[in-house]
């Protein structure tokens, strides 16, 4: 069986490398008749106390020979500043509902230790707490998104945490923050009221959780300059009943948003999720089918929200998404460390296109997770650091942040494997404040280049340039020995043809074009 699988993979890679220059065609129309904005918060990130995401990722040993501020690793900070991450979610995840914020303030040597029962059973010394996280966000120039403990915490604990970071009064709690080195309030506005309350956050029913949310939210107070954006713990994947109950039971003025969690699991089997680096074309195809399910989920959950909130006051916040594979061989299974291939870049581009195209309702998201965990932007090995293919997608797509959404109509050829088919191409487009139009295109077909003829309605432009991310094989990765094997390159496959745009989109690639 092992030999057969290896042979299948070799034949698949050979077929990809020797793919003919066959071309199929797609038709795309982009119009300039929308007033919607692609929220920058769609490009948010997630950092949980899990594996080497915080400890050994953002927060390193004092002796490590890298540039640091306190123990915050600055080469990572610089890389994330470059892609303009707008928000960072912390401390979890499942960890959030066992985290007690008072353990993570005051002199580091006096902070109590705890065992991370969710992820690997490791001992945490709480040296990375509220002040360290908010200092990290300041260095990243991003907004903090903090998840309150509803599962094992209390209303009082959450209320005092908000007061600690946001109040400028002379209360005991606010004075404690000042004594701990931050005289001014942090003014944190994004707050999650629990996490995955249907599962690790308490195994609640939606009826019970909706009552708990209203109770907790009632004591989540606004302080001057910090009106709270309260985000309810939303559904797991296709649990449409959860969304129905939450929207029915919680008035829209109580919550800024409701979360959605969905992971692309290559096999669809949580017991054996599949390899991050070794897979056949049929396995790749199945993975992309599961990735594209995100569009169905967002559409159906949005339709339920529309019943109770037709004016779309409440945001859908996809604050955990990405590919989830088996861990790398030899690593702690509780640390969720996985490699990141060209396939994962196509998954990232596809999901971001889906979110952009649903920006009327999707106004926030968070990739899981930023460093060394799941579909990471960055991997580290002691002082070494590399940028994954997924990082480069966020670099390409940053042009869409807070830009005007441009509606699209796409007729795509099919990508067919084993008699099954899916649309080969997916696209999103926006126009920034200076009038430049950006179009992001993903070709999921491993073999065929696709020629896309694009009509641009009420859009004036003269020149086009772009960037592309691709590689010889869909299984290619960046390693510490070859950190730049997959990297952005200039794209020359687009041209003006009269008033139309013609693009030759290479197989297994992501391209972002700029028209001006």
CB atoms within 10 A of CB 272: 11
CB atoms within 10 A of CB 13: 17
CB atoms within 10 A of CB 298: 21
For residue 219, give both structure tokens.
């004591």
Where helices occur in 145-227 by DSSP H, the ranges are: 155-166, 172-179, 206-218
Q: For the stretch 413-449, what's the b/e string if a residue is b when 16 or more beta carbons lie within 10 angstroms of its beta carbon?
A: bebebeeeebebbbbbbbbbeeeebbbbbbbbbbbbb
CA dist 389 and 379 (Å) reads 11
In the three-class reduction of DSSP (H, G, I as helix; E, B as strand; rest coil), residue 177 is classed as: helix
How big is the chain, counted in residues? 516
Nearest to 342 by CA among 493, 504, 468: 468
CA dist 276 and 324 (Å) reads 8
For residue 176, give both structure tokens.
């404690």
Cβ contacts of 193 within 8 Å, gap of 6 or more: 148, 150, 158, 213, 216, 217, 220, 230, 231, 232, 233, 255
CA dist 406 and 385 (Å) reads 36
Cβ contacts of 230 within 8 Å, gap of 6 or more: 191, 193, 217, 220, 254, 255, 256, 257
Nearest to 44 by CA among 513, 412, 480, 368: 368
Q: For the stretch 356-366, what's the b/e string if a residue is b when 16 or more beta carbons lie within 10 angstroms of its beta carbon?
A: bbbbebbbbbb
Where helices occur in 412-464 by DSSP H, the ranges are: none
CA dist 218 and 150 (Å) reads 13
**Contact at 8 Å (CB) between 353 and 440?**
yes
Cβ contacts of 317 within 8 Å, gap of 6 or more: 41, 231, 234, 257, 258, 259, 260, 362, 363, 364, 365, 366
Nearest to 17 by CA among 393, 508, 482, 442: 508
**Contact at 8 Å (CB) between 457 and 261?**
no
Positions annotated as catalytic residues are: 196, 320
Nearest to 349 by CA among 325, 328, 323, 370: 323
């Amino acid at each position: 069986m092992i030999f057969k699988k290896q042979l299948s993979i070799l034949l698949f890679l050979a077929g990809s490398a020797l793919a003919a220059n066959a071309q199929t065609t797609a038709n795309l129309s982009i119009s300039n008749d929308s007033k919607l904005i692609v929220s920058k918060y769609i490009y948010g990130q997630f950092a949980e106390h899990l594996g080497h995401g915080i400890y050994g990722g953002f927060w390193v040993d004092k002796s490590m020979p890298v540039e640091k501020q306190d123990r915050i690793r600055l080469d990572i900070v610089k890389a994330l500043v470059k892609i303009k991450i707008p928000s960072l979610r912390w401390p979890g995840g499942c960890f959030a509902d066992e985290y007690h914020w008072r353990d993570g303030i005051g002199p580091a040597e006096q902070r109590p230790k705890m065992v991370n029962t969710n992820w690997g059973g490791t001992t945490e010394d709480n040296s990375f707490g509220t002040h360290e996280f908010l200092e990290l966000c300041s260095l990243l120039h991003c907004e903090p998104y903090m998840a309150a403990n509803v599962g094992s915490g209390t209303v009082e604990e959450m209320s005092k945490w908000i007061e600690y970071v946001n109040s400028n009064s002379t209360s005991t709690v606010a004075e404690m923050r000042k004594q701990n080195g931050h005289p001014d309030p942090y003014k944190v506005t994004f707050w999650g009221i629990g996490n995955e309350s249907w599962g690790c956050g308490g195994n609640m029913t939606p009826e019970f959780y909706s009552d708990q949310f209203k109770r907790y939210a009632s004591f989540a107070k606004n302080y001057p300059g910090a009106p709270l954006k309260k985000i309810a713990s939303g559904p797991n994947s296709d649990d449409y009943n959860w969304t129905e109950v939450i929207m029915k039971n919680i008035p829209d003025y109580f919550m800024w948003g409701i979360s959605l969690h969905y992971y692309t699991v290559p096999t669809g089997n949580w017991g054996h999720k599949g390899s991050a680096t070794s897979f056949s074309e049929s396995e790749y195809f199945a993975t992309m089918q599961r990735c594209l399910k995100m569009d169905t989920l967002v559409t159906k959950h949005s339709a339920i929200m529309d019943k109770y909130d037709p004016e779309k006051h409440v945001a859908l916040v996809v604050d955990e998404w990405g590919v989830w594979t088996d861990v790398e061989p030899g690593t702690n299974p509780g640390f969720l460390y996985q490699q990141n291939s060209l396939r994962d870049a196509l998954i990232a581009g596809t999901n971001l296109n889906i979110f952009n195209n649903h920006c009327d309702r999707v106004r926030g998201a968070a990739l899981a997770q930023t460093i060394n965990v799941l579909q990471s932007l960055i991997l580290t090995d002691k002082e070494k650091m590399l940028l994954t293919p997924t990082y480069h997608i966020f670099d390409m797509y940053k042009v869409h942040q807070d830009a005007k959404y441009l509606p699209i109509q796409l007729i795509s050829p099919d990508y067919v494997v084993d008699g099954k088919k899916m649309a080969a191409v997916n696209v999103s487009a926006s126009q920034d404040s200076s009038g430049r139009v950006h179009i992001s295109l993903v070709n999921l077909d491993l073999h065929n280049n696709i020629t896309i003829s694009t009509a641009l309605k009420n859009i004036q432009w003269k020149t086009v340039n772009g960037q592309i991310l691709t590689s010889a094989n869909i299984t290619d990765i960046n390693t510490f020995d070859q950190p730049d094997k997959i990297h952005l390159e200039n794209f020359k496959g687009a041209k003006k043809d009269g008033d139309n745009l013609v693009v030759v989109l290479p197989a297994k690639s992501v391209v972002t074009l700029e028209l001006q």
